[in-house]
Structure 1
Amino acid sequence: MNGLEISPFIAALPKVELHVHIEGTLTPALRWRLARRNNVPLPYATYDELLESYNVLYNHRKEVHGDNGAPTFLETYFAGTQVLCQEDDFYELGMAYLEKARDMNVRYAEPFFDLQAYLPRGIAAATVLNGYMRAQREGAERFGVQSNWIMCFIRDRPVEEGIATYEAARPWARIPGGHGLFHAVGLASNEYDRPPMLFEKAFQMAKQDGLHTTMHCDVDQKDAADHIHEAIFDVLGGHGTERIDHGLNALDRPELLQGLASKGIPLTLCPHAYHRRQATDVLFPKLRRLWELEGVKWCINSDDPTYMHNVWIDGAMEKVYHYCGLSKADMVQLSRDAVEISWADEKLKAELLQELERFEEKDC
């Protein structure tokens, strides 16, 4: 946290999280326990060695910056998924996140999940999705955290494999006759030379089913601004995606900011993820500039907290609050924007906005 502590104000602020990868919330403790339960070998002799592995400063983009010998973030992330094998594993992972969300005053979340990472290992779609669905339903009852989930296409895997995965997952979608686990599709994993338009067929299928669409356009990736341009102006027959995950490089080109504003496409930003690679005096002025722009909405999220120094949404919000010099009223407005950006139903949105109004009257 760069010496920052989470303030009582940020801790108490009601929150909505729209950009968190459920596999990126797998704690070392749960990973260790599931590995032992499922007889999955880990390259660590002791739990302390596993813990130490999370302190590695991952070389996030081997293709761009070269290989320094350390495991990349994505290599570590997908290594973690190997311990997830049984329905109860996915249930426990989902419940652990939703309990943590409750403790951070997150009222509503839209977690990403990577079904495509499991099917090649012979794990049935039902095993994964029933586990997450149990967590979705029980987490709402036990912890008061409502959630709608987002299935990701793994973009460095073949597109046709992603389409087959979507077809396998379709009975769990929020469509007529579906179980209602997920209401949107997105993209995940390595973006290097894998622009959004490669997945046009997959997104068209989901859109025809009535699902929402969002697209990762990671920060400072190769061709990052070009990917944002495709997401705004080219995908879905030129209509554009409904949301962009990350997308901070829209600041690089005026036409991208204009496109976001004119089409009403918001960004789900993960400030700590960028702070790992950008200096404080570089990153936070960008966020401040984005905050001051008319017509471009964004919200604060955690991304993959257990693989990113264990900084969750509350820590990310504290950083923006502190380094951007925002007021308490500004932070409440960012939370309002998150509610409005979300795909929660209108009744829940109204309840969340009313809670934020009460909070602002009391705490600001």
Structure 2
Amino acid sequence: MEGFIRALPKVELHLHIEGTLAPEMMYEMAKRNQVTLPYQTVADVRAAYEFSDLPSFFSLYNLGISVLRTEQDFYDLTWAYLECCKNDHVLHTEISFDPQLHTRRGVAFATVVNGILRALQAGYSTLGISNRLIMCFQRDLSEQDALETLQQAMPYKDKIIAVGLDSSEQENPLEKFTQVFEMARQAGFLTVAHAGEYGPVANIWSAIEQLQVSRVDHGIRCTDDDELVEHLVSSRTPLTVCPLSNVKLGVFSKMSEHNIAALLERGVCVTINSDDPAYCGGYMTDNFMAVANAFKLSKPEMAKFSWNAIEASFLIPDEKTALQARLQHYLDLNFRPII
């Protein structure tokens, strides 16, 4: 199974590029940009990544954000992630970025997006990894702030496929972003949103009905409502689930308690993703292996996550067909009858 999963063609749909900042890169970028960290060595930084709760995660995450200053920083960050994709046989990735985390501290929107885009273009031309870019709004900030960010994104409409909504669900209802999401849809952006991770199942309904999302990021609380699960199945509304992140951040106490296998069995278009892999325990192969080991799923069942991800991606139909053909070729090789 491990060999099968390692070489399995994969598609990632829920990845925060800021969450790929490895301890070594945080340390080196801090030196490069003369940012003072409360750590003396790389080993000290690495030890800090063993956080135990959500507040300590956000504290460390924000510290990591502080070392990202230049276009080259965002290029290097994205390129390092794409090299991990190549190693994990990720054929296509849809990367989220959070411009408000950077513009609020004086880093220009163009600095962020141009660095990411340069790396994505290089990743496609040299590594063969296709991509789409998603811009997320911070739900703990105001809708006015989101509207200003949307205006900054307008010159990049042909480079940014969708807008999303992330950060804490607590006391930050999706409803306050209905206007900016409507404006984004009118401008031609697709929409996604984090919902039903820590927040209640009602947040998932709001994302679908009010923000009109194409897919739900996380969405694991859907099993609290059978009607919602039936809707997800019948509408093929995808869930971009992040197993290792869910366990690391305490949504589930251990992987065997996760509901991802049950969702797959019920016919939900559920996918496996890595979320903030540098902080949350691993990249795509690590997440696939964690699920396979916890639930003893078969190879065809594990491959279904990749098939679902191709279906749920923002690729055009011909591109999806090409990826499906590559996945099917891999499965044909692995399930060829032995004579």
The alpha-carbon distance between structure 1 residues 158 and 253, as it changes in their structure 2 partners (threshold 3 A), is same
Give the gaps of 5 or more residues in structure 2.
none
Residues in 2 aligned to 1:279 and 1:54: alpha-carbon distance in whole angstroms = 18
Q: CA deviation at 1:88?
A: 0.5
Q: For residue 67 of structure 1, what is the aligned residue in structure 2?
A: none
Residues in 2 aligned to 1:55 and 1:75: alpha-carbon distance in whole angstroms = 12
The alpha-carbon distance between structure 1 residues 40 and 218, as it changes in their structure 2 partners (threshold 3 A), is farther
**Alpha-carbon RMSD:** 1.5
The total of aligned residue pairs comes to 333
Q: CA deviation at 1:121?
A: 1.6
- Does residue 1:183 correspond to 2:161, yes or no? yes
Report the AA paired with residue 37 of structure 1: R
The alpha-carbon distance between structure 1 residues 218 and 53, as it changes in their structure 2 partners (threshold 3 A), is farther
- Does residue 1:293 correspond to 2:293, yes or no? no
Q: For residue 37 of structure 1, what is the aligned residue in structure 2?
A: 32
- Does residue 1:334 correspond to 2:310, yes or no? no
Q: Are 1:232 and 1:260, in contact at CA under 8 Å, matched by a contact in 2? A: no
Q: For residue 151 of structure 2, what is the aligned residue in structure 1?
A: 167
Q: For residue 12 of structure 2, what is the aligned residue in structure 1?
A: 17
Deviations along 1:51-91, whole A, 9 cap, x unmatched? Answer: 1111122x11xxxxxxxxxx521221122111111110111
Q: For residue 194 of structure 1, what is the aligned residue in structure 2?
A: 172
The alpha-carbon distance between structure 1 residues 226 and 163, as it changes in their structure 2 partners (threshold 3 A), is same
Runs of 4+ deviating beyond 6 Å: none
Residues in 2 aligned to 1:112 and 1:242: alpha-carbon distance in whole angstroms = 15
Report the AA paired with residue 306 of structure 2: S
The alpha-carbon distance between structure 1 residues 228 and 29, as it changes in their structure 2 partners (threshold 3 A), is same
Q: Are 2:241 and 2:260, in contact at CA under 8 Å, matched by a contact in 1? A: no
Q: For residue 64 of structure 1, what is the aligned residue in structure 2?
A: none
The alpha-carbon distance between structure 1 residues 297 and 161, as it changes in their structure 2 partners (threshold 3 A), is same
* Aligned positions of 1:43-62 closer than 5 A: 43-57=38-52, 59-60=53-54
Deviations along 1:284-309, whole A, 9 cap, x unmatched? Answer: 4x222211113x21100001011113
Q: For residue 224 of structure 1, what is the aligned residue in structure 2?
A: 200
SS in 1 for 2:310: helix
Q: Percent identity?
A: 37
Match of 2:100 among 102, 113, 116: 116
Q: Are 1:280 and 1:323, in contact at CA under 8 Å, matched by a contact in 2? A: no
SS in 1 for 2:193: strand
Give the gaps of 5 or more residues in structure 1.
1-5, 61-70, 175-179
Match of 2:257 among 283, 291, 305: 283
Q: For residue 227 of structure 2, what is the aligned residue in structure 1?
A: 255
Q: CA deviation at 1:325?
A: 2.2
Q: CA deviation at 1:344?
A: 1.2
Residues in 1 aligned to 2:170 and 2:295: alpha-carbon distance in whole angstroms = 30
Report the AA paired with residue 110 of structure 1: E
Q: CA deviation at 1:141?
A: 1.1
Q: Are 2:196 and 2:204, in contact at CA under 8 Å, matched by a contact in 1? A: no
Deviations along 1:138-182, whole A, 9 cap, x unmatched? Answer: 1111211111010000111111111101111221122xxxxx2x2
Report the AA paired with residue 242 of structure 2: C
Q: CA deviation at 1:9?
A: 0.9
Report the AA paired with residue 293 of structure 2: H
Deviations along 1:13-66, whole A, 9 cap, x unmatched? Answer: 000000010000011111111111111111112222111111122x11xxxxxx
Residues in 1 aligned to 2:256 and 2:76: alpha-carbon distance in whole angstroms = 38
Q: Are 1:87 and 1:130, in contact at CA under 8 Å, matched by a contact in 2? A: yes
The alpha-carbon distance between structure 1 residues 356 and 124, as it changes in their structure 2 partners (threshold 3 A), is same
Q: CA deviation at 1:279?
A: 3.7
Q: CA deviation at 1:217?
A: 1.2
Q: Are 1:232 and 1:259, in contact at CA under 8 Å, matched by a contact in 2? A: no
When normalised by structure 1's length, the TM-score is: 0.88
